Amino acid sequence: MSGSTGGAPQIDGQRLLGRLDELAQIGAIEGTHGNCRLALTDEDRDGRDLVGTWMADLGLDITIDGLGNVVACTEAGRVADSVMMGSHIDTVATGGRYDGNLGVLAGLEVIESALSSGRMPARPLSVGYFTDEEGSRFAPDMLGSLAYVGGMALEEALEITDRDGIAVGDELDRIGYRGAAPVPGTVPFAFMELHIEQGPVLEFHGVQIGVVEGVQGISWTEVTLRGQSNHAGTTPMPLRRDAGLAACRIANEVRDLAHNIGDSQVGTVGAISLVPNLVNVIAGSATMTVDLRNTSEAMLQHAESRLDEIVSRNAEAEHLEASQRRTARFEPVEFDTAVIDLVEKCAAEAGLTHRRMPSGAGHDAQMLARVCPTAMIFVPSFDGVSHNPAEYTAPPDIEAGANLLADVVWRLANGEIDSEIVESGATT
């Protein structure tokens, strides 16, 4: 490898913040700082057009694939050799301006600051954004990056429809983003994603940087309990078959389960629906959701089997019929240990407070991790709020995160950990 031996050029924080602001004007939600750019809508197209202008202004080589994933590289035809940065620019219906956008625009900023400095690393740099990461309009989420790494056939992805029956392929044609580049896409040398944490951990600990080790595995279960609806006054306690009570007992034990397993285990009962849901009627049936997440597949399976036991035992105690349905299941993703170590080392050298952590939410990086050495950097989310117009990350945190991204990418692109990457058995 050859290239500049100096450190990465400092990024221009004002330019990055300015672009975040400009992009957030497209699909802005009036009276808030948030926006709505659902995948493949007119607003998404306008956002893509704006980011495309910035990419073109830097003279980058832009490719658009058959699913609308866009990659811009400092050297034409060299994406396979590049260190890629990126994320997504679609949002949820009531989205903030940082989720996804930060990873794309920070990648662009890293490239621009390098180009402006006149110093470039040995490897080319690229930045991409992937179609429909949020999954708010077309399921599943992370659709673009899933197909990019070969996890779903292009034909299948194009036929996915939204609630109104409109297909991904037709919308890509309509907004002019069905490109010619092949899907699956070109695998880069490595991939880095800067993202807001979307949780409260960094803020709570007063730490600037999250060194993301992987993405939690997810297990969603819908539990349905059937008992007997009866009069709350005339039915003695021992004769009740109260589906609502059993749902509440299960919810309590899900909290206990998470506490007892500890480590990264989380467990949430976010939705409970009782029937008939009246003050003076014992609930005859209850439907509830259980969201279990762990960074360890073995522990996640352990949590699932504990949940089975909790549901069975509580249903039996209240003489209920119980059924369960797994509504989502993703295995945990572990990022490349050498790249994780590099992120941590760079953060330390930059004097940034940092802590290793899992991601509780899904990200495009977890798809890229299937095919190349990958890691992520988190910056703090005010109050842990995300998917909300109130989403906010302080400018100094954004700048620190982007500079850390630049440093990590610079070193990856200069071959600083090539030997460790090979040793860690990454899949390149």
State the residues that interact with a copy of itself by CB under 8 A.
197-201, 204, 216, 218, 220, 222, 228, 230-237, 239, 242, 244-245, 247-249, 251-252, 255, 258-259, 265-274, 276-283, 289, 291, 293, 327, 359-361, 383-387
CB of 43 to a copy of itself, least distance (A): 23
Query: CB 258: neighbour CB atoms within 10 A?
Result: 20
CB of 337 to a copy of itself, least distance (A): 22
Q: What is the dihedral of CA 243, 247, 248, 249, to 10 degrees?
A: 100
**Residue number, 99 or 171, with CB nearest to a copy of itself:** 99
- HEC profile for 101-167? HHHHHHHHHHHHHHHHHCCCCCCCEEEEECCCCCCCCCCCCCHHHHHHCCCCCHHHHHCCECCCCCE
153 Cβ contact list (under 8 Å, min separation 6): 147
**Residue number, 98 or 177, with CB nearest to a copy of itself:** 98
Contact 37, 44 (CB under 8 A): yes
CB of 294 to a copy of itself, least distance (A): 11
**Residue number, 150 or 382, with CB nearest to a copy of itself:** 382
Contact 63, 122 (CB under 8 A): no
**Residue number, 253 or 399, with CB nearest to a copy of itself:** 253
Query: Which has the closest alpha carbon to 268: 321, 216, 313?
Result: 216
**Residue number, 203 or 420, with CB nearest to a copy of itself:** 203
- Between CA 428 and CA 423 the distance in angstroms is 12
CB of 27 to a copy of itself, least distance (A): 22
How far out from the chain centre does Cα 203 lie? 19
CB of 202 to a copy of itself, least distance (A): 10
Question: Which residue spans within 227-265 are E strands per DSSP?
Answer: 230-231
Q: Residue 234: what residue type?
A: T
Q: How far is CA 158 from CA 44, 108, 131, 138, 375, in A?
A: 17, 28, 11, 10, 28
**Residue number, 4 or 230, with CB nearest to a copy of itself:** 230
CB of 246 to a copy of itself, least distance (A): 10
**Residue number, 5 or 280, with CB nearest to a copy of itself:** 280
Query: Which has the closest alpha carbon to 249: 299, 294, 286?
Result: 286
Q: Residue 144: what residue type?
A: G
CB of 62 to a copy of itself, least distance (A): 33
Query: CB 67: neighbour CB atoms within 10 A?
Result: 28
List 322's β-bridge partners, or say none: 225
CB of 240 to a copy of itself, least distance (A): 8
**Residue number, 110 or 286, with CB nearest to a copy of itself:** 286
CB of 361 to a copy of itself, least distance (A): 5
Q: Name the phi and psi angles at 347, rounded to 5.
A: -60, -45
**Residue number, 256 or 308, with CB nearest to a copy of itself:** 256
